[in-house]
Structure 1
C-alpha cells in the first residue's frame, strides 16, 4: 500500500477538488486586488490621450490580467496549499488518513498531481496568451496609450549601441530597411562613456548607411546649449539586420520563437546568456507549482492541539517565499552572466525540491 500513491479514488478526488477550489479563490483575490492597485496608478495615464475612455481602461485591464495570472499563480498555489493543509489538520482529517495507513507522500500525492496539471496549464497559458499580451501592452505603453501603429513588428523600449554611442527609441515598427524608430534619443559619448551630446527626435528612418533623425534637437553637455537642426544622420554602423537582432524582446516571444532567436544570435556570434536563462525558465517557472505542496507540507503534519499549527504554517509560507526570492535572484544573476543559464533557471528548483523532500521525510519520521 505504501507504494500506491493513490490508494483511494474518493480521497484523491476530494483532496484535488479542495485544492483546485482554493487555488482559484486565492488567484482571483490576488489578481483583483493587484489589478485595482495597478489601475489606481495607470488610469490617469490611460485617459490622458484625447479620445481615451472606459473602453481603453477595460483594454488595459484585459492585457494586465494575463500578466498578473502568470506572475502570481505559483503564489496562489502556495497559499492554497497552506489553507488546504491547515484546514485538514484542524479537522483531524490528516490524523484519520495517517490512522488508515497512508504515508505523508500518499496524503500529498493528489495535491502534487494537481500541481503538475496546473504547471502544464500555466505553460500553455504563458505561451498562447501572456506573450501576446506582453507584446501588445509594451507597444501601447511605448506610444503613451495612444493609437498603436498598424505596422507589423512593433517593439518597445529599443536600446542600441554603436561603439561608445547609444541610440534609444520608445518604439520600433517595421522590419528591414522599412524600420522606423519613434521618440528617438542619440547619445554621443566620449572616452570613459562620458556623454558629450544628446540629440532628441520624433522619428528616425534608415539612411543607408545610418539613421536620419527628423527635426532633431541637439543638446551640448559641455556648453549647456540647445540647437535645432534641420537633419542629422547618426549610427552609421547600425544596420537594419543588426537592429532586428538587438531589439528582440524575449518576454514577447513564445518558447519556440525564443529558441529560434537564440539560434539566430548564435549564428552571428551574439551574446545569448540572458535569453537562454529566460528560455530555460519558461519550463522551470511553471513547474514551481509542483514545489508548493512539498514546501507547505510542514503545515499538514503535527497535532493541531499542540499549539504549533500557526508556527508550522508560517514556516511553510517562509519556505515558499524563500524559493521565489532565490529564483528571481538566480535568474538575475544568469541574465548578466554570473551563473550559467541552465543553472540559473534550474538550481533553485532542485534545491527547494530537496528541501521540501527533506522536510516531508523528517516530518513523517
Structure 2
C-alpha cells in the first residue's frame, strides 16, 4: 500500500512513466546534438594522426558519450519536468488532480520518485562507466590521439622541481627505483632563478644519488656556444622517484574509492587536497541534482492555463534550474580556492535550492 504522500498506484505509474519517457527523449536529443557538434571540431584532429581511421572516431564517440550523458542528465530532468507539467496543465489534468483533493506535493511525488531513482542510477553510472571512459579519453588526448602506451605506469609531460632547478621529461615509465625517464630536459638555474645551462638527454635513471642522464648535451647560456655532448652525468639529487608517483589526480577519472586513496596519499605528502575533497563530496551531491530538478521546475505546472501565465512560470522554472548549476559551479570554484570548506562547496547549493524550491512551491500552491 502506498503512503499518503503518493497518489494512487495507477496515477503514480502514469505520471512516472510519462516523466521518464520525456527525460529519455530530451536527453537523447541533447546528447545527439552535442555529440555532433563535438565531432565537428575533433574528428579532423583524430583522423590527422597517421594510422587512425573511422574506427578511431567511433572509439572517441564511445568514450565521449558517457560524459555527455552524465553531464546533461540533470538538464534533461529539468526540461522534462517543465514539458511534462505544462502538458498536464494544458490538458486540465493538474486541475482534475487538485479537484480530487491532491496537493501539489502529491502531484510531484511520482516525479520526485522517478528523479530519485535516476539519481541513484546516475551515481552508479558515473562510478562504473564514466570514470573509466574519462580516464581512457584523457590518456588518448594527452597522446594527441596517437597510440596509447600499453604500460599503465607510463605518464606523460613530467614536470618537477629540485630547488631552483627544473626537470622535464616527455614520458616516465615504471615505479620507484625502476623509473625510467625519456626525452629529458634539465634546466640548471641559479638562486635568482636565471637559467645557467640547459641539458638534453635521451633518457635518465635513478641511481640513489640523483638521476643519471644518458647521452647528455649541454648548452651554456653564458657563452651561447653550440650544445656539446658530455659523458653521462647525475643531476637533481633531491628529486626522488616517490615525487613522480604523486601524479596529478583527475577526480573525474577516478571512482570514489580510488579518489579516497589518492587524497590520503597526497595528504601524507603534505599536499593541499581541498579541491579534491570538494570533488569527492560532489560525486555524491552531483547526481542528486536530478532529484532537485522536479522541485525547481514545478512552478511551471501550476496556475490556470487560461490565465496566460504559464509561459512566465516556465521561464521562472528554467531560471531556477539553471541558476542552481551556476551556483553549484561557482561554489566548487570557491572551494578550490579555499573560500569554502570542501563539504560546504559541494552541499551548500543543493540545500539552498532545495529550500528555495520548497518555499516557492508552498507559497504559490500550498
Q: C-alpha displacement at 1:106, in angstroms?
A: 0.6
- Residue matched to 1:106: 106
Q: The residue matched to 2:287 in structure 1 has which SS?
A: helix
Farther off after superposition, 27-36 or 203-212: 203-212
**What is the CA–CA distance in structure 2 between the aligned matches of 1:306 and 1:222, rounded to whole Å?**
81
**What is the CA–CA distance in structure 1 between the aligned matches of 2:305 and 2:172, rounded to whole Å?**
59
TM-score (norm 1): 0.88
**Count of aligned pairs:** 364
Q: C-alpha displacement at 1:64, in angstroms?
A: 0.6
Change (3 A) 1:9 1:72: same
- Residue matched to 2:176: 176
**What is the CA–CA distance in structure 1 between the aligned matches of 2:195 and 2:298, rounded to whole Å?**
55
Change (3 A) 1:162 1:58: same
Farther off after superposition, 176-185 or 52-61: 176-185
Farther off after superposition, 263-272 or 27-36: 263-272
**What is the CA–CA distance in structure 2 between the aligned matches of 1:89 and 1:28, rounded to whole Å?**
25
**What is the CA–CA distance in structure 2 between the aligned matches of 1:152 and 1:298, rounded to whole Å?**
50
Q: C-alpha displacement at 1:179, in angstroms?
A: 3.4
Change (3 A) 1:102 1:243: same
Q: Specify the structure having the higher radius of gyration (Cα).
A: 2
- Residue matched to 1:258: 259
Q: C-alpha displacement at 1:197, in angstroms?
A: 7.2
- Residue matched to 2:275: 274
**What is the CA–CA distance in structure 1 between the aligned matches of 2:226 and 2:309, rounded to whole Å?**
68
Q: C-alpha displacement at 1:319, in angstroms?
A: 0.9
Q: C-alpha displacement at 1:117, in angstroms?
A: 0.7
- Residue matched to 1:138: 138
C-alpha RMSD over aligned residues: 3.0
The answer as to whether partners of 2:274 and 2:338 remain within 8 angstroms in 1 is yes
**Match status 1:329 vs 2:318:** no
Change (3 A) 1:71 1:203: farther
Change (3 A) 1:93 1:147: same
Q: C-alpha displacement at 1:314, in angstroms?
A: 1.1
- Residue matched to 1:124: 124
Change (3 A) 1:35 1:196: farther
- Residue matched to 1:312: 313
**Match status 1:355 vs 2:361:** no
Change (3 A) 1:315 1:225: farther
**What is the CA–CA distance in structure 2 between the aligned matches of 1:81 and 1:218, rounded to whole Å?**
66
**Match status 1:283 vs 2:290:** no
The answer as to whether partners of 2:167 and 2:185 remain within 8 angstroms in 1 is yes
The answer as to whether partners of 2:7 and 2:107 remain within 8 angstroms in 1 is no
Q: The residue matched to 2:283 in structure 1 has which SS?
A: helix
Farther off after superposition, 311-320 or 216-225: 216-225
The 5 A counterparts of 1:1-365 are 4-155=4-155, 159-164=159-164, 167=167, 172-181=172-181, 205-211=205-211, 227=227, 235-365=236-366
The answer as to whether partners of 1:162 and 1:237 remain within 8 angstroms in 2 is yes
Q: C-alpha displacement at 1:40, in angstroms?
A: 1.1
Q: The residue matched to 1:296 in structure 2 has which SS?
A: helix
Q: The residue matched to 1:147 in structure 2 has which SS?
A: coil
Q: C-alpha displacement at 1:296, in angstroms?
A: 0.3
**What is the CA–CA distance in structure 1 between the aligned matches of 2:226 and 2:40, rounded to whole Å?**
37
**What is the CA–CA distance in structure 1 between the aligned matches of 2:217 and 2:33, rounded to whole Å?**
43
Change (3 A) 1:212 1:22: farther
Q: C-alpha displacement at 1:261, in angstroms?
A: 1.8
Q: C-alpha displacement at 1:160, in angstroms?
A: 3.9
Encode CA deviations 1:299-332: one digit per residue, 9 max, x unaligned.
0111121111111111111111111111111111
TM-score (norm 2): 0.88
Encode CA deviations 1:238-271: one digit per residue, 9 max, x unaligned.
3222221243332221101111222222233322
The answer as to whether partners of 2:186 and 2:200 remain within 8 angstroms in 1 is yes
Q: C-alpha displacement at 1:70, in angstroms?
A: 1.4
The answer as to whether partners of 1:139 and 1:154 remain within 8 angstroms in 2 is no
Change (3 A) 1:309 1:242: same
Q: C-alpha displacement at 1:166, in angstroms?
A: 5.0
**What is the CA–CA distance in structure 2 between the aligned matches of 1:183 and 1:305, rounded to whole Å?**
72
The answer as to whether partners of 1:185 and 1:198 remain within 8 angstroms in 2 is yes
The answer as to whether partners of 1:277 and 1:335 remain within 8 angstroms in 2 is yes
